[in-house]
Copies of this chain bind each other. A is one copy, B any other.
Amino acid sequence: MNIKDEVERQAINERHAQRMQRKKQLIDEKIASAQIRRGLIVMNCGNGKGKSSSGLGMVMRALGHQKKVGVVQFIKGAMSTGEEKFLRRFPEEVEFHAMGEGYTWNTQNRERDIAKAQAAWEQARKFLNDPTIALVLLDEVNIALKYHYLDVQMVIEDLQQRPPMQHVILTGRGALPEVIAIADTVTEMQEVKHAFKSGVTAQECIEW
């Protein structure tokens, strides 16, 4: 490397360090002004991939921090999934309930779907009343709410009355605005591209 290149390299590195110092100052100020610790309602909605899997990732984090976790799956249950096989290995750490029978177009039975959704909510409520459970994942609950299989006011009250440090994650398409309103962190998973539309089937590891 000649001297000119070396001088230029040092100048780039120096500018980078200065930019990052300024950035760090701004970020440190933001961090200093965000010091509240409390249980959150996290909502993963939208049509893209990643709603349930992100919930499962937070389950993994909670298990890493040696917290107890409760999972209720509102739609899944008709087939065994990777998450079910995995989480059943830790019965002391995770209480796992897959209480659905498949999507509404598979079951084709509204009254049975309603009964299943309500039974699943009974289980969810047990978790929401249990302060030893640090994190509750209510997977695909948005779908049960969208079809009015669950009363949204009842759901909101149960969520708001949970232990103050407990986190709850809600997932699924078609999130109701009333539920979005009471959530703390809401992400819309937007589909930019999906392999299924290029002819790729739903595959293990990725979708289930």
Contact = CB atoms under 8 A, between A and B. Distances in A.
A183 to B, nearest CB: 7
28 contacts: A13-B109, A20-B104, A20-B107, A23-B104, A23-B105, A30-B196, A33-B199, A40-B200, A40-B206, A43-B192, A45-B192, A50-B51, A53-B53, A55-B57, A60-B83, A60-B87, A63-B86, A65-B205, A67-B205, A167-B203, A167-B205, A184-B193, A184-B195, A185-B193, A185-B194, A186-B191, A187-B192, A190-B190
Contacts of A198: 36, 184
Interface of A: 12-13, 16-17, 20-21, 23-24, 27, 30-31, 33-38, 40, 42-46, 48-65, 67, 81-87, 104-111, 134-135, 167, 180, 183-206, 208
Work out how many copies of this chain go into the complex: 2
Contacts of A43: 192
Contacts of A55: 53, 57
A192 B44 CA distance: 10
B110 A13 contact: yes
A169 B41 CA distance: 26
A11 to B, nearest CB: 11
